[in-house]
Amino acid sequence: MKKHIYILLAASLTACTADLDTLPLNRNEPVSEYVYGNSESAYLDGLARLYFQFVSNDLTDLQQMDGGASEVVRAFWSVQETTADAAKCSWENDAWVRALNTNTWTSAQNDAVYAVYVRTLQGIAYVNEYLRQTSPARLADRGVSPELAAVIDGYRAEARFIRAYFYWMALDCFGSVPFSTENTPFGGTYVPPQASRSEIFSFCISELKELSAADGPLAEPRANYPRADRGSAAGLLARMYLNAEVYTGTEMWDEAKETCEYIFGMGYSLCPDYAALFRGDNGENQQARGEMLWSVAYDASNTESYGGTSYLLAATLAATDITDQSKPNGQRNGWAGLRVPYEYVSRFFGVSGQDYETGEYEVADKRGEVFYIKGRSESMDGALYVFLNGWSCLKFNNIPHNMTAEQFLPTADTKAFADVDFPMIRLAEIYLIYAEACMNLGQTAAALPYLAELAERAGVGAPSASDVENTDGADNWLMAERARELMWEAHRRTDLIRYGLYSTQDYLWPYKGGDSFSGQSFPAYKSLFALPPTELAVNPALIQNPGY
């Protein structure tokens, strides 16, 4: 079963403590000495706990926060999308919402930003401990056989990928953060030193190059779903090369292009049906899985979380949208929170004929068929915190790809959580990274066949070289294509920063930079978030990001 690693974790967390006669059990400690011995299951259990950090709602280190809001996928999505043009949230009384909606955050603690910081660094610490506990010397001390040690070496490689992903999230959002590995001292009064963005970038590049190598320790591409494999590491490597100039000041387009070409030889393929990539059976549907380089798996029965895709399902509809006759995204909750500004929809999808009574509208691009507008009002002007103003996005949808809403309705009545796996890296993103690298290298023609594949799936005409090479501010073609293809997949803030459009006057969106609907520029230093004040208080060696 695709969710087996999470099911294993769920079982382990409810295990009988009488079976553990080593160290005391701490259920909030994902990796500790009591877990290990010389049986494979204990080491797989430890690895499962690391993957579970992406869906964890544990509030041990996040006091006074809602558990679901503290989950790292949900928190990272919120800082990536609501601070940009693709999403706004109507929960004006939630502590994080107003500041992110309007780019008016300060150095004061913001719950969503704080959750990203704590979850990423906490996850890194857990990986480091797992790597300490599974070092060759520790395995030998426990009498682990050479055969099992070789298997555990593969688990260690997966752990290192998880650490690299957490480090990528942290450096993207905060730049310079505390840095540690399994070889770093820990415990007592020791606090890890703060590494520069370039240093963390270099560490991740080194790790990912080794992990993605054809003779590397990770599993073969497409052999380990939903766990990480060589394709996962190569995908994250390509993404980091794409943003190298932002992270380090030096472009790495050749490296990005070469890494994408390496991935193209791994056997991934575009799913013929775009919508199927985000449906409740996307982890079982082989065509959808064929596009996924890495996903975070959600299962309504075994990962009961109000974060992740449960957040993206429930928060996009109101309770009044969820009736016995109509559960349009296959679940029973309506939180009335997230929606897309009409200006984004109009700019990138060219919709027409919208009728807010019937919910009907027309769009040429199939990727724009995911909106729900029945009972909505078009503009958020003067009504940012009125949920029914704007368009609801049902891109993530519990209904299996081969069923209608009516067919799934009896099951939808039972669904309080999501079955939709969240695509952390997928092939279409690699196509777009390749296109951007080729364009910057003056080799646009090489990318056109890949962009034509995306266009064919979307039902629109293939772009020309002149289209792709248009980099004119808000009309940048690749920026717009990423807005269509990767909408609501937690890329938008990073993309706009790379294109130089995030904080500037050159590209405005509703409520950008303040309470004005027309939008305005905001300080460039906000391309990074502030380090949390609580962290500065406990680690005097940390230096706050400039501007805060």
The pLDDT confidence band at residue 15, using thresholds 50, 70 and 90, is very low
Q: In the structure encoding, which two tokens stand for residue 536, read together? A: 């500065």
354-365 mean pLDDT: 96
Q: Radius of gyration (Cα) for the chain, nearest Å?
A: 23
- Residue-wise pLDDT for 508-527, tens only, equals 999 999 999 999 999 999 99
DSSP state of 421: P
**What is the H or E stretch that residue 392 is in?**
strand 392-393
- Is 273 within the bounds of a domain? no
- Is 490 within the bounds of a domain? no
**How many CB atoms are located within 10 Å of the residue 461 CB?**
11
Mean residue pLDDT of the chain comes to 91
395, 282 Cβ separation under 8 angstroms: no
Handedness of CA 368, 374, 380, 385 (dihedral sign): negative
The lowest-confidence range among 1-10, 88-97, 461-470, 491-500 is: 1-10
Which is it for strands 392-393 and 371-372: parallel, antiparallel or unpaired?
Answer: antiparallel
How many Cα atoms within 13 Å fall on the side-chain side of residue 444? Answer: 14
Residue 374 has pLDDT above 50, yes or no: yes
Strand partners, 89: 338
Domain count, the chain: 1
Tell me the helices (H) and strands (E) count for the chain, helix number first: 21, 10
Residue 23 has pLDDT above 80, yes or no: no
Q: What is the pLDDT of residue 233?
A: 98
- Is 346 within the bounds of a domain? yes
- Is 380 within the bounds of a domain? yes
Distance (Å, whole) CA 449 – CA 462:
9
Residue 10 has pLDDT above 80, yes or no: no
Residue 387 has pLDDT above 60, yes or no: yes
Q: Which one is predicted more confidently, 200 or 191?
A: 200
Name the amino acid, one letter, at 399.
Answer: I
Interior angle at CA 138, CA 133 and CA 142, nearest 5 = 110
The pLDDT confidence band at residue 20, using thresholds 50, 70 and 90, is very low
The pLDDT confidence band at residue 475, using thresholds 50, 70 and 90, is confident
The pLDDT confidence band at residue 390, using thresholds 50, 70 and 90, is very high
- Is 354 within the bounds of a domain? yes
- Is 332 within the bounds of a domain? yes
Q: What is the pLDDT of residue 60?
A: 59
- Is 443 within the bounds of a domain? no
**What is the H or E stretch that residue 440 is in?**
helix 427-440
| Of the ranges 5-19, 67-81, 263-277, the best mean pLDDT one | 263-277
The pLDDT confidence band at residue 473, using thresholds 50, 70 and 90, is confident
- Is 328 within the bounds of a domain? yes
What domain range is 362 assigned to?
Answer: 308-420
Residue 98 has pLDDT above 70, yes or no: yes
